[in-house]
Structure 1
Amino acid sequence: MFPYVNTGCEIMEENASEVVKSADRTLDLIELLASWGREMSHTEIAESLSIPKSSLTKLLRNLTVREYVRFVPETKGYRLGDAILKLAQQSNQLRSLVECAQPVLDEITAQTLESCALNQLRGDKTEVVATITSPQILVSHLRLGDLAPLYAVSGGKCILAFMPDSMRQEYLSNVKLEKFTPRTITSKKALAAELEEVRRTGAATSFEEYTAGIVGVGVPILSAAGFPLGSLNVAIPTVRYGPSVYSKAVAILQSSAERIRRQFSSS
């Protein structure tokens, strides 16, 4: 064993590590606010990013002063500020999640022969932001801009299951479970149990719960902090669905989600 000698390099490395950690937190916070679709409270941000509340207060203060984040008094929440929006408009090099996903969606449909979509959170719903239609005669059309309740579709369940606990509980407390088909979930207890299973397996299904005759299979696209940036799903007519189809779809979707996550994180 050599005796420990503080050469000063360790201090520089530690300080560098702290600087990098602070930068990561800033970027994680900006990505989180960009993905959420509404203002987020101090507590929600802290829980989502696992940041101590005292550290988050300092970070938000700095970003608010420089207008990268804006505090909204009416909701007592935070959202992206004008400075970050101006940067986004000025830079044509920023790649969106949609741009990262589009070629991957082509491959998903080529491998599954089913319609697929990229979904993102819009308030308390999920929105189709990119889609590819199956080449088969019997298909489900996932139309660009379609909105659906989180609890009724596979892509929405993925997003809901991986929300921070406080957000998910808020959603479950406030949502009214409208019945779209005879199979739509109308019990909050049953929904909560299913979301736990989605968290365990990393995949969600919707058995004719929103559209009769269609089974949805979805997986989340998670940030480094574990927040759902969006989800991928395939829509399969029930006449073509079965256990082997499910297993194949989940494997393809999870591999695709990881590819998109890596590309988006490195862009």
Structure 2
Amino acid sequence: MHVATAQRMLNHLIDRSYVNLTEAGYTLGAAVLPLAWAFTYQDRTSAAAFPLLTSITQSTGFTSSVFVQSGESRVLTARVEAPSPMRYQLVVGQRMGLSVGGGKVILAYMPEKARGDFLERYEGEYLSTGVRQTREKLESDLKTIKQQGYYLSSSERDLGTIGLTLPFWNSKGVFSGTVNVVTHDDSYSVDDILACRRQLAEAARMLSLQI
């Protein structure tokens, strides 16, 4: 895109308050807030997820979330914090990668070509433990996810955390996102978090019936 074209488009967005021009550069403007509110209010997945996540968190003591795919990333659309919250904070709307933690479940169920393109470009990365994740290890994890139907992560994105993630589909059988729980490994064990797999599976089933 030519610079003049990009500048003209930005000027239009500034005039309509979708973008602000500050000393630090371009930022989102106030006009995006009604759009964000409209999405969370009208999105059937978010509306259906909240009571299910509330029930999961109340019974397990774990923070629970729903993520959906957005291109080659995942977006948090619903979250219920545990009474003892995580050391890091995520907000609804936050975008995260697909190659670490629960994002791998979305990657595993992406269309074959899109997943292949992603893996072809993947050059590996260091997890929070300092261990380097190779493309071969990522591919192995994706195969395991398809075989067992869930993914248990440990200190991949954040040191000292464990998470359990399951996929869910809509009523037409189209893959739609993931539901997960996460907690600190100094308070709970892997067995503790695996014990709620049946409850997560039921939440995934209920989501599938409502979207």
TM above 0.5, one fold? Answer: yes
Q: Structure 1 pair 145/114, CA: closer, same or farther in 2 (3 Å)?
A: same
Question: Matched residues in 1 for 2:168 and 2:153: separation?
Answer: 18
Q: Structure 2 regions of 5+ residues with no counterpart?
A: 1-37
Match of 1:142 in 2: 90
Between the aligned partners of 1:246 and 1:115, the Cα distance in structure 2 is: 11
The alpha-carbon distance between structure 1 residues 209 and 224, as it changes in their structure 2 partners (threshold 3 A), is same
2:186 aligned residue (239, 260, 263): 239
**C-alpha spacing 1:198/1:137, structure 2 compared with 1 (3 Å):** closer
Match of 1:177 in 2: 124
CA separation in 2, counterparts of 1:171 and 1:202? 21
CA distance in 2 between partners of 1:219 and 1:185 (Å): 24
Q: CA deviation at 1:198?
A: 0.6
Is 2:163 aligned against 1:216? yes
Deviations 1:145-196 (A, max 9, x none): 2222111122x11111112222211111123433241256521111111111
Post-superposition offset of 1:140: 5.2
Shift in alpha-carbon separation, 1:180–1:145, aligned structure 2, 3 A? farther
Report the TM-score when normalising by structure 1. Answer: 0.59
Aligned partner of residue 145 in structure 1, secondary structure: coil
Question: What is the SS of the residue equivalent to 1:211?
Answer: coil
The equivalent of 2:138 in structure 1 is 191
SS of equivalent to 1:220:
strand
Distance in 1, matches of 2:161 and 2:127, equals 13
Match of 1:229 in 2: 176
Contact 1:213 1:238 in 2 (8 A): yes
Scaled by the length of structure 2, the TM-score of the pair is 0.73
Q: For 1:249 and 1:113, how far apart are their aligned partners in 2?
A: 11
Letter in 2 for 1:136: S
**1:204 offset after TM fit, Å?**
0.8
Q: Does 1:120 align with 2:61?
A: no
Secondary structure at the aligned position of 1:152 is classed as coil
Bigger Rg, structure 1 or 2: 1
| Letter of the 1:251 counterpart | R
SS of the residue corresponding to residue 78 of structure 2 reads: strand
Q: Where in structure 2 are the equivalents of 1:148-167 lying within 5 Å?
A: 148-154=96-102, 156-167=103-114
> 1:95/1:243 Cα in 2 relative to 1: closer, same or farther (>3 Å)?
closer
Equivalent residues of 1:115, 1:142 under 8 A apart: no
Aligned residues between the structures: 172
Tell me if structure 1 keeps the 8 A contact 2:76–2:94.
yes
